[in-house]
Structure 1
Amino acid sequence: MTPKLITNSNGQTFLYELQQAFSTCEEFYFSVAFINYSGLQLLLDNLKELRDRGVQGKIMTSTYLNFTEPKALKKIKAFNNIDLRVFETDKVRGFHSKVYIFKNKDTYTVMIGSSNITQSALKSNVEWNVSTVSTRQNPFLEKAIKEYKELWAQCTVADDLFLQKYEKFIEALRAQVAVAREPSFSSYGNAEMQRIVPNKMQQQAIDSLERLRAHGEMRALVISATGTGKTYMSAFDVQKVQPKTMLFIVHREEILTKAKETFIRLLGHSNQMGMFTGSSKDYQGKNYIFTTIQTIKDHYDEFTTNYFDYIIIDEAHHATASTYTRVLGYFEPKFLLGMTATPERCDRGDIFGLFDNNIALEVRLNEALEEDLVLPFHYFGITDVDGVDLSDVSIDDVAEVAKRLKVNERVDFIIDKMNFYSYDGEKCKCLGYCVTKDHAQYMADEFNKRGIVSACLTGDDKQAKRQEMIRRLEDDDDLLQVIFTVDIFNEGVDIPSVNLVLMLRPTNSPIIFMQQLGRGLRKYEGQSFLTVLDFIGNHSKTFLIAIALSGKRFYDKEGLKVAVKRGFPDLPGATHIQMDKISQQQIIRQLDMENFRSMKYLKEEYLEFKKEYVRATKRDIPYYLMDYVKFESAPNPVKFIDNKKSYLAFLAAVEKTEGLKRLAKTEPFCKLLPQLSAFLPIKRPHEFIILRYLVTHERVSWDEAENELLKIIDSVTKETLFHAFERLNQTYDDHAQIDRDLKLCFYDRKHHQLNRTQIYGEICANEQQKSYILDVLNYGLYRYSRQFDTKNYGVPFLKLYEHYTTRDLGPLINFQKKLSAFRGSTIPNGNDYYLFVDLNKGADLKESLKYKDKFINPKVFQWETPHPTRQETKQGQRLIHNQEYGINLYLFVRKFKVIDNTTEPYVYLGKGDVTSYYGDKPITTEITLHHEVPMSLYQELTTKV
């Protein structure tokens, strides 16, 4: 068998390959230099399964560099099917092998390479490992086993005495902090090498802010998860802009000193930085002033309106409150920057509008994990104990759910799983999320009875008690190990040293799930991962866990099912998600049965979101699409539009209020809103940018349109801008489209400008109607920026691996004919051919249309031409010899044509060339793609669930 190269890249991990080998082996033998608990925890379920199957194994590791953790060795020792030995290294001889040998029924699988048993080596580090399957008589295998046996004989048996001695040695070593901490190469050398530089997130924000300022914008908002370095980012931007004066405003005085220290560390000039708070008035003669809103709101008129060139608002979700609006209404800075981790906690008003809808950067959990800005988590989905039955109860009936969960057998089961999976560190610092206050108190009482010191905290407890309990939990010498709560730790509370989270309640809101998970993800010195144990009951909404864990707002049913089956391979870094087989099957079954597009489901999803929205904002209804942007794991509101043609119409149908119903039927506004909403999600920004400009202007010139576009993309292609002008002029519309749609612009070609029509102007003059039009335009542009970044994709305007419909294609290729001419699965446009392929053919298709289209591998795709095509025809020649004829082939595929009675979009796989072919009517071709399909996408498209 051909050896297989395994790297932690392109959707592939060494962990997954190990787990596949575990599933079929009859014996196993490891020789691994380093084992720490972060890596071993990822393999515990596999080791338990092997033990249950009676599979024996041997593991040898080493004391090399003192990296192997005693906690990991003790855990391995607990498995009675594993023999454990340790190679004791000295100054003369090291130990650096990474060998994994699996004995199968008739063969051996051998993996040799660079990966130790650590979370990073198994999942995220740059690693090269080679896997090969060998017969028992293979000379390579015989030598590998001989070497293994010789090394094994030289190792020390890891008995209790050895483990005690090794643990004491490591503890003593850790106590010598200066010895234990080795300098990193990046900090070695001269001052130039030691200077602080922006991380990737911070650099993206700085670049985006610079682009916005260069094109006339004076305000912007940065949304970034807690612990991702927003203060440093703002300091880097100030360093770049070098304003003469700056004002930094925070909501709480305790974080102000740290902000000032950050600026001094990066910019120096400490004598130019002053504090202006209730307790400190060191600001006279200072250029850069750090203040609290409580202080500046009473003293802002001590400064002239244009005194500050640059103003920064930390925790900007408060900036719409009256205390801020007075201050911000007074000052006229050259630039205003807002920063927040929680836009959903906006006090009132429109936080995006306050910053002119300029979201310079948004870093949510997935991006933070990818950039290693927060702690990775290890999630284990565990089927709940048999004694708990939630199958016939609504999870919204919290009293009944809590009653059924208050079972002693479940408490013992939870503690057993805590002991099995354990946590990172020596002391357990755990948060347990419960259904009700009674449930939380019950859990604390039962844990205390079993000797695990625990406390219950709810919204009834005073702030002083909360702070005291948090202090005790974080104290390594305090006996408190677990705090059980309901929802007071969902947001706004930092407990950095938490190392274990227990999800003890059914998940009925992806938003709450992610808020609770996020409490343990702030980086903490000495901690390398967070353990999350989720006890999954047999209720009807378990599939919501998959939605929450996917980390995607815009998901599809098939993708979720594959993600559940394969452990969410798209999640970045060392984060790990693992569900037991029963939970997997239950979630996949529910995903199959649930219709994500039915009005029943959409209404439930909306009402669940509304509940969180009202709780966070204290407002009655999420009136706008942009309200969904504020919440991580919020529903995709475009689904609501797909059902009722506009979000307003959906609201009117669900809320049934007379005001919404009346507005949704107001002519001609009720015609324009669905017309614009139909383009969501947009695939190029040009038309929406122009229409947004025309909301407040009567006309737009070429130069003005280009300037607006350059605020969100790097460059503008003239022919695409021309095409957008003509498209808005309805030049390419057929009679049916012209009759159906409102005309919003006239193209004055002589003066190269678009003029707003009277009807568009009248709608935009109505403040209420304008707010909804702007909402659609702003949401479209926001979502575009999130999905497509700032790149100019040229012509065709296509991004690899994005989703497109055939209807999307016309504008993206600057098609200059009536779009009604777009038909078929092979669309020619000059020398460009666009191929649209369904991987799974419908059972009702005629036999002649069941083309044998399939992936050969991630680089090669088998495609059959339309049925009548013969090799000797002009069309046949242009296809099979596309390179010689200068023909560009663009490939789009989708797994299924229809899911939940809704037509699915295609995934764009890029360009390719025909490299082999045979047959006629149809011709069978093999197209070699210019870009190999990422493994996670390849698996999603090819895996059958």
Structure 2
Amino acid sequence: MNIHLREYQQECIDSIIHAGPGAWLAVMATGLGKTVTFANLPRTGRTLILSHRRELVTQPRKYFDCDYGIELGTQHSHGEPVVSASVQTMTHRMNNFAPDEFDRIICDEAHHSGAKTYHDIFNYFQPRQLIGFTATPNRSDSVRLDDVFQDIVFERDLKWGIQNGYLSDIYCRRVNIGYDLSHVKTSGGDYAPGELEEAMDGTADAIAQAYKDMAIGATLVFAVSVKQSEEIAKRISGAAVVSGKTPPKERQALIDGLANGSIPCLVNCMVFTEGTDIPRVETVIIARPTQSDSLYTQMVGRGLRLAPGKDKLNLIDCVGATGSRSLCTAPSLLGIDLSPVPEKKQQELEGLLFDLPDKATTLSDCPESWIRNVEIVDLWAKTQSYNTHGVNWFKQPDGRMTLSLPHKRLTIPPADKLGRCNFGGRIVTMQYALDNAYKMLCRDYAKEKYIWDVSAAKRWGAQPASEKQMRLVSRMCKGFDCTELTKLEASQILNRRLAG
């Protein structure tokens, strides 16, 4: 297959070749063509491609100019130069291959590779290169990959793709359609399908209304089930449903109809999450709630292609009550963690995609958020196995850790996929940055320990706030009810204001 690679795709290939033997990570946003990139890596031996979902196993076949074997369910490879396998299947079949069988292993959607199933495969095989590809942005609350990959050898994120004219800009909006996922169980890192479908029952009217009020041009709607897809389509004039049971010729005819304007809207259930190229799509409606960054990114990715007359992608998130469950929405595309943003203020996170980080930071900059951030940081540190030394860090939506001191604010930048950050002009591990910040605080701010040390602050601040503290808080944070504040909570608010 003769494919003309874009300059950055060739640069990625060159970076991987230059890296030599080892385990390397390449970050490439959805829509920039990571599959065609890794398909064009020069082969000096057999290649194994690992994917975490069934549909990803067969998708790369069209980009390879050689025999392509599959290890999935009842399908088996037969010595082909390229073998594509699901991780679940390969965990049971890896003993069918010699440890040195493959010269290169490509791990697609590599942000999943911290899981034990991946580790079992990586520990068995001995390739010359292990290359991970991911489109998911840095997430300070996601699994770290530093125990799998040595370094990030190439990175082109969503912002780069949009700013350099390869992807469409995104205008983000939210509409509350009234669902409640607070009691829906999680299975395999996402909402359990059956329970999710039940929780979304009765939302078709609201989704159809969102289309009528907010959609622009050719529209793709992602629903939770075929039944819900049909219910939504019934309520939208001219809409059609595409499901896994739609015959290939009929599916293509429907896609062509959306592309030429004869069909205004296609409603689907998990059909267009991968590999569908419809540049004319101007609106994507996410009516399929998910906790999976990669699935959310793939759904949005169907609308990122450029097209004549297309100004930007109109992205509509259908939201509802989630309780303590996480929900991927537009800020997830940039790795923004909404836990520091009070739920009642999250509705304000609308507008152009790259305006959202500043909006999220502004919305999290409030007394309620400052007080509960101790719990957020504790949870973050626990999931990442970090030792914060009891420092009263504040976690910003973009992953930055900040500490308010008298007339000063100390900052540690967000960690990358390998748990590293730029601290003091050096690329160091996040733990190194936390350790050295703690040493500096002990040295230079010993007298103010009640401000930055959580344990000392709790001992000092368990009593109700003083009248002077409450007067100052009332003056600085108009409209905030400070009658129930402790000394610690009041101090957190005042220090934050004074350091701001």
- Where on the TM-score scale, by shorter chain, does this alignment land: which range? 0.5 to 0.7
1:899/1:553 Cα in 2 relative to 1: closer, same or farther (>3 Å)?
farther
Q: 2:48 aligns with which of 235, 239, 248?
A: 248
CA–CA distance in 2 between the matches of 1:504 and 1:689?
34
CA contact (8 A) 1:209 1:220 kept: no
Q: CA deviation at 1:201?
A: 5.5
Query: Per the alignment, in what secondary structure is the counterpart of residue 452 of structure 1?
Result: coil
Shift of 1:332: 1.6
The residue number in structure 2 matching 1:496 is 277
**Which of 379, 394, 402 pairs up with 2:171?**
379
1:335 is displaced (CA, Å) by 1.9
CA distance in 2 between counterparts of 1:309 and 1:531 reads: 40
Partner of 2:192: none
What is residue 685 of structure 1 aligned with on the other side? 426
Task: Return the letter of the residue paired with 1:476.
Answer: G
Q: Distance in 2 between matches of 1:476 and 1:601?
A: 49
Which residue does the alignment assign to 2:15?
207
- The answer to whether residue 148 in structure 2 is matched with residue 369 in structure 1 is no
Q: Deviations over 1:100-123 (max 9, x none)?
A: xxxxxxxxxxxxxxxxxxxxxxxx
1:432 Cα deviation from its structure 2 partner: 6.1
Q: Which residue of 2 aligns with 1:548?
A: 331
Instruction: Give the structure 2 partner of residue 312 of structure 1.
Output: 106
Specify whether residues 207 and 530 from structure 1 end up closer, same or farther in structure 2 by C-alpha distance, changes over 3 A only: same
Q: Please give the TM-score of this superposition, normalised by the length of structure 2.
A: 0.53
1:446 paired with 2:270, answer: no
Distance 1:739 1:246, change over 3 A: farther
**Distance verdict in 2 for CA 1:549–1:289, change over 3 Å:** closer
Would you say 1:430 and 2:220 are equivalent positions? Answer: yes
The amino acid of 1:523's aligned partner reads R
* SS at 1:226 equivalent: coil
Work out the CA distance in 2 between the residues paired with 1:195 and 1:261: 11
User: 5 Å matches for 1:176-195?
Assistant: none
CA contact (8 A) 1:201 1:371 kept: no
| Separation in 2, partners of 1:402, 1:602 | 37
From 406, 412, 415, give the equivalent of 2:212. Answer: 415
Write the letter of the residue equivalent to 2:22.
Answer: M
**Residue 901 in structure 1 maps to residue 497 in structure 2:** yes
- In structure 2, the partner of 1:359 is 152
Deviation track 1:580-610 (CA, whole Å, cap 9, x = no partner) reads xxxxxxx89x949845742347868999xx9
What is the CA distance between 1:551 and its match in structure 2?
3.9
Q: Distance in 1 between matches of 2:431 and 2:317?
A: 50
- Tell me by how many angstroms 1:224 deviates: 2.6
CA distance in 2, matches of 1:365, 1:324: 26
TM-score (norm 1): 0.31
Q: Where in structure 2 are the equivalents of 1:37-186 lying within 5 Å?
A: none
Question: Could you say what secondary structure the match of 2:423 adopts?
Answer: coil
Task: Determine the structure 2 residue equivalent to 1:521.
Answer: 303
Q: Closer, same or farther in 2 for the Cα pair 1:594/1:312, shift >3 Å?
A: same
Structure 1 SS opposite 2:132: strand
SS in 2 for 1:352: coil
SS at match of 2:384: coil
Helix, strand or coil: the match of 1:339?
strand
- Distance in structure 2 (CA, Å) of the matches to 1:549 and 1:358: 23
Kept in 2: contact 1:379–1:533 (CA 8 A): yes
What SS does the corresponding residue of 2:35 show, helix, strand or coil?
Answer: helix
Q: Distance in 1 between matches of 2:3 and 2:248?
A: 37
How far apart are the structure 2 equivalents of 1:690 and 1:593?
25
CA distance in structure 1 between the partners assigned to 2:382 and 2:299 by the alignment:
24
Amino acid at match of 2:220: C
Residue 415 of structure 1 aligns to which amino acid in structure 2?
K
Residue 480 (structure 2) aligns with: none
Q: In the alignment, is residue 624 of structure 1 matched against residue 384 of structure 2?
A: yes
CA RMSD, Structure 1 to Structure 2 (Å): 6.5
Q: Does 1:482 align with 2:265?
A: yes
**Matched position secondary structure for 2:105:** strand
| Alignment match, 1:918 | none
Report how far residue 689 of structure 1 moved.
9.3
Give the match for residue 222 of structure 1.
26
Take 1:389 and 1:204, find their aligned partners in 2: how far apart are those partners? Answer: 42
Q: Tell me the equivalent position of 1:337.
A: 131
State the partner residue of 1:833.
none
CA 1:381/1:303 → structure 2, altered by over 3 Å: closer, same or farther? Answer: closer
Equivalent AA in structure 2 for residue 312 of structure 1: I
SS at match of 1:306: coil
Amino acid at match of 2:239: V
Letter in 2 for 1:224: M
> CA, structure 1 residues 638+687, in 2 after alignment: closer, same or farther (shift >3 Å)?
closer
Partner-residue secondary structure (3-state), 2:25? strand
Q: Structure 1: how far apart are the matches of 2:173 and 2:22?
A: 47
Secondary structure of 2:133's counterpart equals: strand
Measure how far apart 1:499 and its partner are: 1.3
Structure 1 equivalent of residue 370 of structure 2: 598
* Alpha-carbon separation, structure 1, partners of 2:121 and 2:317: 48
* Preserved CA contact (<8 Å) 1:503 1:533: yes
Retained in 1: the 8 A contact 2:70–2:84?
yes
Per-residue CA shift, 1:800-833, capped at 9, x if unaligned? xxxxxxxxxxxxxxxxxxxxxxxxxxxxxxxxxx
Q: How does 1:596-675 map to 2 (within 5 A)?
A: 597-600=369-372, 623-624=383-384, 635-639=397-401, 642=403
1:431 CA drift (Å)? 1.3
SS in 1 for 2:245: helix
Residues paired across the two proteins, number: 395
Report the secondary structure of 1:207's partner residue: helix
8 Å CA contact 1:249, 1:292 repeated in 2:
yes
Counterpart amino acid of 2:383?
A: Y
Equivalent residues of 1:220, 1:337 under 8 A apart = yes
Superposed CA deviations along residues 857-891 of structure 1, whole A, max 9, x for unmatched, are xxxxxxxxxxxxxxxxxxxxxxxxxxxxxxxxxxx
Paired residue type of 1:379: Y
Q: Retained in 2: the 8 A contact 1:221–1:352?
A: no
CA displacement at 1:219 relative to structure 2 = 0.9
Contact 1:209 1:360 in 2 (8 A): no
* Closer, same or farther: CA 568–205 of 1 in aligned 2, 3 Å: farther
Q: Is the 8 A contact 1:314 1:338 kept in 2?
A: yes
Deviation at 1:350, TM superposition (A): 6.2
Structure possessing the higher relative contact order (Cα contacts under 8 Å, 6 or more residues apart): 2
**Residues 240-285 of structure 1: CA deviation (Å, up to 9, x unaligned):** xx64x23222447876777466454xxxxx5xx66465767553xx
Q: 1:499 to 1:291 in 2, by over 3 A?
A: closer
For 2:245, the equivalent position in structure 1 comes to 464
